[in-house]
Structure 1
């Protein structure tokens, strides 16, 4: 099964070098690797001019083409015709040696699957459930003999009756789903959302659906937007055997105010794309959860050392929420 890899990058020469070293060590190597660089400097370009990575095609885009979704569309347009699968990776990831082998295995064995996501093992918080130990279901989430400690926001949502009623990666009618992924069981789990750091689709999907340019620049939740649209073609799954590490390089990220605003407004768009006509109860829950999350982020002004970042993100979330009263995001491509 021939497959292409698209890596969109912006001012992360060292990070993408680490990724490419891990790609070089794969047990199954991509037939085509497309590097789509939106950097204003030439560090990444110099890296690929001097390196000797196999099957690489490097493209430097114009400022007008820069931004994650725009760069992904540039990459898709250059995918080889014979490719059957198109993989996407964030430039700050590092792969386990059999990552691509496991991804392609799922596509080969499951004809109804059109999208596959991998698991960041360095972020996986699941632990084997200890025999005889009692776990507070407000503070721990259990799944197939494993437990994951809930974050503060989920603990509070559990006590308030606002927790997701769906498994991880599956959106409830009021959105705000669980994001802890799944334990490393080696199984695949059907989900609604794949994460942009590690996702792959059959070529027929990326040929039919462009990445939405509604998501400018950093493009928070653009992966969720594409995932929801992709489900019209078949199932999406998370493959826990397809493993990598995600290091969240800070360079190229927006300021916290813009980030906070995107969390609210882009989150609303994803919710209404999946559920265009939610019930009144679901609407109330979505807004209540949004207020809870704003309150918790606001408390970080008092509880963390990064007070300015916490304050500006809180303001961004607030402005984004009040802005929905006057102008709601479009759910169109």
Structure 2
């Protein structure tokens, strides 16, 4: 099976260099590498013009619209392989990454998506904790990620993570990443709608911790600055999550989700109970997060109603 690796990148040429080097060192050679670059990203275009990698089947795609969704959709249009593997420019796949991916898709014709662990590096420190539950959408709407902490045997999951996910081109068909996802860069939860759609269509989604990449979280050039609170980024995150879940949950579970989200929530998307939990340690910041979460819920709900009215 021919494999394509798709990498969206923006203003991180040093990270991209490490990623491309890792692809050159794969046990199973890559058949096509697509790097999607913003038209205004002079740093990356200069790096690619000077890149000397004669054995790397590199194909560049130019995109004018900001955000990972537009980049990935532009890249999907250029995919030639039977399998498309998506990773970030700040990741470095392990040498057996493509070999393991090809083996999975060759052995199971019902496999639509495959993901694995991203080993997160914080400077010289490796995040090596472990969690048995990964990539699950619970019945009342809570999403459990933990893709960077997964251990154990391969298992079916509901959701994959954008830094390490592969898809059968036949399964994707005309499916594209949801352009309603808000954000000018990361667009958090963009992969959730994609994988849930494949699963609802009957395709199997597998997570195997051994299908691994090293992940070196790099600087972002948008409103989402990872661990720093930004009201716009917070609202966008909750909006995206709300819109996706309302569209994929059945009616009764949708109602339960809304009540749970507003009154309980999570540490990333606060409800009233989570606000009480964080109030002693975060003070006014907890209140800002709660209001941003509720605004995101309301905006996601409104968009869902408009689309389905």
Contact kept? 1:257, 1:315, Cα under 8 Å: no
Confirm or deny that 1:90 pairs with 2:88.
yes
Counterpart of 2:129 (choices 106, 125, 130) is 125
Contact kept? 1:5, 1:30, Cα under 8 Å: yes
Distance in 2, matches of 1:38 and 1:295, equals 42
Q: Deviations over 1:97-132 (max 9, x none)?
A: 111111111111222211001201334411xxxxxx
TM-score (norm 1): 0.76
Counterpart of 2:176 (choices 188, 210, 215) is 210
Q: For residue 124 of structure 2, what is the aligned residue in structure 1?
A: none
Q: Deviations over 1:140-168 (max 9, x none)?
A: x7x4xxxxxxxxxxxxxxxxxxxxxxx43
Residues 87 and 203 (structure 1 numbering): CA distance in 2 closer, same or farther, change over 3 Å? same
Residues 313 and 286 (structure 1 numbering): CA distance in 2 closer, same or farther, change over 3 Å? closer
Q: For residue 264 of structure 1, what is the aligned residue in structure 2?
A: 238
Q: For residue 4 of structure 2, what is the aligned residue in structure 1?
A: 4
Counterpart of 1:58 (choices 57, 60, 65) is 60
More deviation in 311-320 or 50-59?
311-320
Counterpart of 2:249 (choices 259, 275, 292) is 275
Q: For residue 138 of structure 2, what is the aligned residue in structure 1?
A: 172
TM-score (norm 2): 0.82
Q: Deviations over 1:79-98 (max 9, x none)?
A: 12xx2111111111112111
Contact kept? 2:116, 2:210, Cα under 8 Å: yes
- For structure 1, list consecutive stretches of 5 or more residues without a partner in the other structure: 127-140, 144-166
1:197-276 aligned at under 5 Å gives the runs: 197-216=163-182, 217-218=184-185, 219-231=187-199, 232-255=201-224, 256-276=230-250
1:314-329 aligned at under 5 Å gives the runs: 315-323=291-299, 328=304
Q: For residue 284 of structure 1, what is the aligned residue in structure 2?
A: 259
> Cα offset for 1:52?
2.3
Contact kept? 2:101, 2:211, Cα under 8 Å: yes
Total equivalences in the alignment: 284
Q: For residue 74 of structure 2, what is the aligned residue in structure 1?
A: 74
Contact kept? 2:158, 2:196, Cα under 8 Å: yes
> Cα offset for 1:277?
0.9
> Cα offset for 1:262?
1.7
> Cα offset for 1:188?
1.4
Residues 297 and 16 (structure 1 numbering): CA distance in 2 closer, same or farther, change over 3 Å? farther
Contact kept? 1:7, 1:34, Cα under 8 Å: yes
Distance in 2, matches of 1:9 and 1:318, equals 32
Distance in 2, matches of 1:293 and 1:29, equals 47
> Cα offset for 1:287?
2.4
Residues 325 and 245 (structure 1 numbering): CA distance in 2 closer, same or farther, change over 3 Å? closer
Confirm or deny that 1:184 pairs with 2:151.
yes
Q: Deviations over 1:160-181 (max 9, x none)?
A: xxxxxxx431211222232224
Contact kept? 1:265, 1:324, Cα under 8 Å: yes
Contact kept? 2:116, 2:165, Cα under 8 Å: yes
Q: For residue 130 of structure 1, what is the aligned residue in structure 2?
A: none
Q: Deviations over 1:201-259 (max 9, x none)?
A: 00113332011111243321110011111111411011211111222212224242122
Q: For residue 13 of structure 2, what is the aligned residue in structure 1?
A: 13
Distance in 2, matches of 1:262 and 1:300, equals 24
1:293-332 aligned at under 5 Å gives the runs: 293-294=274-275, 301-302=282-283, 313=289, 315-323=291-299, 328=304
Say which structure, 1 or 2, has more relative contact order (CA 8 Å, 6+ apart): 1
Secondary structure at the counterpart of residue 61 of structure 2 = strand
